[in-house]
Chains A and B, each alone.
Chain A
Amino acid sequence: DTGVSQDPRHKITKRGQNVTFRCDPISEHNRLYWYRQTLGQGPEFLTYFQNEAQLEKSRLLSDRFSAERPKGSFSTLEIQRTEQGDSAMYLCASTPGDEKLFFGSGTQLSVL
């Protein structure tokens, strides 16, 4: 068990570009969450998967954001036409369903 893995650790992009992040959860965990965290704030919920089904999406998740979890394994979060306000740490977490979240180290996005 190597824990929750996120890739890349850091991403610098220009405004208007598309970016995609990947999350590999702990293998037997059927629930996967995406959160966003800005400096001095706690994680804010973005979306949640139960296996391959996306069950809940936050109002924070505009139509520029899309997430997938094909086959209920890894997940990707794509941001299209990035804006400076998208700059944040994007966190992935997984859980087997017992309310204990296992977090990855996050992907730090900087939009210039």
Chain B
Amino acid sequence: GNSVTQMEGPVTLSEEAFLTINCTYTATGYPSLFWYVQYPGEGLQLLLKATKADDKGSNKGFEATYRKETTSFHLEKGSVQVSDSAVYFCALVANTGNQFYFGTGTSLTVIP
């Protein structure tokens, strides 16, 4: 079946620290992979995506590389800001369907 596993939070970092949020997946076929972000009081919004192996998605200083060999899509940012405080969700859509599968979310708090 299709599923996403991401590291549990909450994660608390100081401003300008390096961020990694781990995500691994199980999927049939060749899925597309996503990171969605939910800021306090707002709906989920797409942060970045990658549609095939070795693709790197990037946005707002965040990056994630689609690693087929390790079935991973880890989210990284070199220097976090207070405004990055949010819940981050890893997700996939299998190429055999249109259903999106989400991880449980990782809460990030960045302190000044």
Contact = CB atoms under 8 A, between A and B. Distances in A.
Interface string B39-83: 000111110010100000000000000000000000000000000
Given A31-B98, A48-B98, A56-B97, A40 B104 contact: yes
Interface in A29-70: 31, 33, 35, 40-45, 48, 50, 55-56, 58
The B contact surface, by secondary structure, is: strand
A33 B104 CA distance: 18
Contacts of A33: 100
A33 B100 CA distance: 9
Given A41-B105, A42-B89, A101 B42 contact: no
A41 B97 contact: no
Interface in B89-106: 89, 91, 93, 97-105
A48 B99 contact: yes
11 contacts: A44-B102, A45-B101, A91-B43, A99-B32, A99-B34, A101-B46, A101-B100, A103-B36, A103-B43, A103-B45, A106-B43
